């Protein structure tokens, strides 16, 4: 048994050595074959280098607008205020404050709503007041393709200043979706934290136009923060509005009581007719009551405003995009070298593949002749 195992081991070693030798032999054969084709390889390499140089000269640069911020959440100061306001029928619970967490703000920035709001923001683009989406259409030369469209609505399509998102036509919605996908889903827009433990968020947008990239990032952050702040303070703003309405109502009653009291005081009262003083006393009592209620409502209104200020999230902008932006462009040397390498590698792969296929076909023919 031991002799058999030794023989098997020897055979395996020998077969392994033979396979390694075969690999080395095949590699040498390929190398010699490629040396015979060095002129063709050089030609393709130079051709690739020329193409790479042309691409580097004709390709337009890309600009990256960078913005970073830190979100500082504020806690609410509603302690005894909740029970106080509840007596007036108001709710100052924390539901709206917890509608979004800091991490969800990243998803809001990349959302279609935020991107569309930013694109529909009026800006001064190269001396022309227009919505940012009109600048994008001009930069991407989309309107040139619309000129030959069979749809008259597309040829006349525009996004005028002041037009709300909800009033878009079907064609406007389609164009907006195309633009959103080209911005948010193509990798041009990236939003991410520096790391999981950090509260700093980086917003980057890469585009062909330097000014558009800057304006887009700035307006995207502005629109996102407005939506985020309004959502976080929605309940508090509703409470303040309701309390303000109550204060205005009590103020009107208080003023009316004062005017009526002044009118009653002008009545010429006779000592024999003391009952005439009753209306005056009543108006004075009403005025005092309304005055006390109004003062309490004002105090509660100020407390609600303070609570809303505490709930309002604060976004601290750290870095903003500054012109000139960071430019990305293929250099002449890099384009030439990369083009030459690609051209050379492609022709080598083609030559080796063609030789291998030719050899396999020849082996099959030889085997058929032998049979």
Q: CA distances (Å), 182 to each of 112, 130, 176, in order?
A: 12, 20, 10
Return the higher-pLDDT residue of 266 and 228.
Answer: 228
Residue 176's pLDDT is what? Answer: 93
Task: Give yes or no: residues 27 and 45 share one domain.
Answer: yes
Return the higher-pLDDT residue of 262 and 306.
Answer: 306
Return the higher-pLDDT residue of 208 and 287.
Answer: 208
Residue 66's pLDDT is what? Answer: 92
Task: Give yes or no: residues 21 and 160 share one domain.
Answer: no
Check which CATH number belongs to the domain holding 200 and give it: 3.30.1890
Task: Give yes or no: residues 185 and 215 share one domain.
Answer: yes
Say if CB 302 and CB 296 are below 8 A apart. Answer: no
pLDDT for 2 beyond 60: no
Mean per-residue pLDDT of the chain: 76
Return the higher-pLDDT residue of 171 and 91.
Answer: 171
Query: Which residues neighbour 163 within 8 Å (Cβ) at sequence distance 6 or greater?
Result: 120
The CA distance from 119 to 205, in Å, is: 13
Q: For residue 246, give both structure tokens.
A: 């109550």
pLDDT for 108 beyond 60: yes
Instruction: Look up the domain containing 21 and give its range.
Output: 2-59+332-370
**Neighbour count for residue 200 (Cβ, 10 Å):** 14
Q: CA distances (Å), 67 to each of 134, 216, 251, 254, 312, in order?
A: 23, 11, 48, 53, 21
Mean pLDDT of 124-145: 91
Beta strands 128-131 and 122-125, pairing class: antiparallel
Number of domains in the chain: 3
Query: Which residues neighbour 314 within 8 Å (Cβ) at sequence distance 6 or greater?
Result: 71, 72, 74
Residue 90's pLDDT is what? Answer: 44
Mean pLDDT of 245-265: 66
Task: Give yes or no: residues 337 and 305 share one domain.
Answer: no
Say if CB 64 and CB 323 are below 8 A apart. Answer: no
Mean pLDDT of 165-184: 90
Mean pLDDT of 136-147: 89
| Single pTM value for the model | 0.61
Task: Give yes or no: residues 125 and 191 share one domain.
Answer: yes
Task: Give yes or no: residues 11 and 138 share one domain.
Answer: no
pLDDT for 7 beyond 50: no
Task: Give yes or no: residues 275 and 355 share one domain.
Answer: no
Q: What is the pLDDT of residues 210-224, one digit of tens each?
A: 999 999 999 999 888
Task: Give yes or no: residues 44 and 77 share one domain.
Answer: no
Mean pLDDT of 11-34: 71
Residue 148's pLDDT is what? Answer: 82
Mean pLDDT of 66-70: 89
Task: Give yes or no: residues 216 and 90 share one domain.
Answer: yes
Mean pLDDT of 124-140: 92
pLDDT for 283 beyond 80: no
Task: Give yes or no: residues 288 and 207 share one domain.
Answer: no
Task: Give yes or no: residues 221 and 366 share one domain.
Answer: no
Q: For the chain, what percent of residues have pLDDT higher than 70?
A: 68
Q: For the chain, what percent of residues have pLDDT higher than 90?
A: 16
**Neighbour count for residue 304 (Cβ, 10 Å):** 25
Mean pLDDT of 313-340: 82
Q: What is the pLDDT of residues 77-94, one digit of tens each?
A: 444 444 444 444 444 444
Task: Give yes or no: residues 226 and 366 share one domain.
Answer: no
Residue 61 binned pLDDT confidence (cut-offs 50, 70, 90): confident
């Amino acid at each position: 048994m031991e002799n058999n195992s030794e023989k098997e081991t020897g055979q395996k070693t020998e077969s392994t050595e033979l396979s390694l030798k075969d690999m080395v032999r095949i590699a040498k054969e390929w190398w010699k074959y490629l040396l015979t084709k060095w002129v063709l390889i050089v030609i393709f390499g130079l051709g690739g280098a020329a193409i790479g140089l042309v691409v580097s000269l004709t390709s337009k640069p890309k600009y990256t607008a960078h913005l970073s911020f830190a979100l500082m959440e504020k806690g609410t100061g509603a302690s005894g205020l909740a029970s106080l306001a509840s007596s007036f029928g108001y709710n100052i619970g924390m539901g709206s404050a917890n509608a979004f967490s800091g991490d969800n703000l990243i998803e809001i920035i990349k959302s279609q709503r935020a991107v569309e709001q930013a694109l529909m923001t009026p800006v001064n683009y190269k001396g022309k007041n227009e919505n940012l989406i009109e600048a994008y259409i001009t930069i991407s030369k989309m309107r040139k393709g619309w000129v030959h469209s069979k749809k008259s609505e597309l040829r006349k399509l525009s996004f005028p200043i002041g037009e709300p998102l909800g009033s878009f036509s079907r064609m406007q919605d389609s164009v907006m979706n195309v633009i959103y996908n080209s911005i948010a889903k193509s990798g041009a827009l990236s939003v991410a934290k520096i790391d999981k433990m950090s509260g700093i968020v980086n917003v980057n947008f890469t585009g062909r136009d330097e000014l558009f990239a800057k304006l887009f990032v700035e307006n995207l952050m502005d629109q996102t923060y407005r939506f985020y702040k309004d959502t976080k303070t929605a309940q508090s703003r509703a409470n303040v509005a309701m309390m303000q309405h109550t204060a205005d109502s009590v103020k009107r009653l208080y003023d009316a009581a004062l005017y009526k009291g002044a009118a009653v005081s002008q009545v010429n009262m006779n000592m024999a007719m003391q009952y005439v003083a009753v209306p005056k006393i009543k108006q004075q009592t009403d005025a005092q009551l309304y005055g006390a209620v109004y003062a309490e409502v004002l105090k509660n209104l100020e407390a609600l405003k303070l609570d809303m200020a505490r709930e309002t999230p604060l976004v601290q902008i750290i870095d903003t995009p500054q012109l000139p932006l960071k430019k990305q462009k293929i250099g002449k040397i890099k384009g030439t070298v990369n083009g030459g390498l690609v051209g050379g590698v492609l022709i080598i792969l083609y030559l080796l593949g063609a030789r291998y296929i030719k050899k396999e076909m020849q082996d099959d023919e030889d085997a058929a002749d032998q049979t």
